[in-house]
Structure 1
Amino acid sequence: MEANSASEFLREFNDAFFKGKKDFIEQHVSDDVVWIMVGAMPLKGRQALIDAAFGMQDYTQMDYVVDMVIAQGQEGAVKGVMTSKGGNERERRYCYCDFYEWQESGELQITKMTSFVVETK
C-alpha cells in the first residue's frame, strides 16, 4: 500500500473509533490483534479490542482533532487531541498518539496498536 493510501486508511480507522463504526474496526483488525494501552495490561484478540473500544470506554462521546498521520511500509502513527464533552463533569482534554502495525493480504488488517494518552490541563 502506498504511503498516501495507508495514511488515509489510518485516518479513517481512527475516525471509526470516535464515530462508533464498530463494523469498520472489526473488519480491519486481525483475529489476534494486540492493543497496548501504555500503563494498562495489553488486550489480545479482536473481541477484546471491540469490547474495550465500544464497551466501557465510549469514544463516541468525545470530540477529536487529528494533528498528524504518518505511514511508511507496514507501520504508521496518528497523533491528535480528544476532548470529553463535559456533561456533569468538567471538560477534559487528552493528547494521544496511536502507533499501528498491519499486514496486507487483500484487505489491510491492523495486527498491533500501541496507544499513548496523556490528560492535559
Structure 2
Amino acid sequence: MKLHTKVDCANAPKKELIKNLTVQFVTYDLDTAMAFMDDNVVWTLVGDSPIAGKAQFKAELQKMSGNKATELTIHSIITHGKEAAVHGVMTMMDGNRYGFADFYEFTSAKGTKVKSITTYIIHKKNDSITG
C-alpha cells in the first residue's frame, strides 16, 4: 500500500499511534489494531448504529476486509489530552476513493487504549476536492 503523509509524528507518540492504527484499519491488520482497543470500545460509523465491544468491532471490520486500501493519504492528525482526530483519503482495491475523518477517545490521557471511535466517510466521485 502507498502511504502519503506530511504529518510529523516525531516526539508525538499518540500521533504515531493514530497513524499506525489508520494504516492497520485500512489494510485490515485487525489483530495488531485490536491490541490497542479497550474491551468495551464503541465504534460509531456515522449514519449506522454504534458497534459496542472489541469482538463486535473486529467482526464488523472483517466483513469489509475484502476491499483493502491500495493508497492512503493522511492530511492531518491532531491530539489533545484523551482525544485525537485524523483525516485523509483512501483508495480501495476496487478503485473507489473515500474521504474520511476519525475521532478517537482514549481511556486516559496516556493514550494507550481506545475507548471510542467516531468515523465520518464519504465516497469521492471525482478528484475536484483535495481534502
What TM-score do you get using the length of structure 1 for normalisation? 0.85
Extract unaligned runs of 5+ from structure 2. Answer: 1-10, 126-131
State how far apart, in whole Å, the 2-side matches of 1:105 and 1:93 are: 33
| 1:12-67 alpha-carbon deviations (Å, 9 max, x no partner) | 111111233222222110111000000001000000110111x2112762222111
Confirm or deny that 1:57 pairs with 2:64: yes
Tell me the amino acid that sits aligned with residue 39 of structure 2: D
- Asked whether the equivalents of residues 86 and 103 of structure 2 are also in contact (C-alpha less than 8 Å), the reply is yes
Number of residue equivalences: 114
State how far apart, in whole Å, the 2-side matches of 1:14 and 1:60 are: 15
Determine what percentage of the aligned residue pairs are the same residue: 25
Written as runs of structure 1 = structure 2, the 5 A alignment for 1:21-60 is: 21-53=29-61, 55-58=62-65
Extract unaligned runs of 5+ from structure 1. Answer: none
Tell me the amino acid that sits aligned with residue 68 of structure 2: Q
What TM-score do you get using the length of structure 2 for normalisation? 0.79
Tell me the amino acid that sits aligned with residue 113 of structure 2: Q
Aligned to 1:92: 96
State how far apart, in whole Å, the 2-side matches of 1:27 and 1:97 are: 22
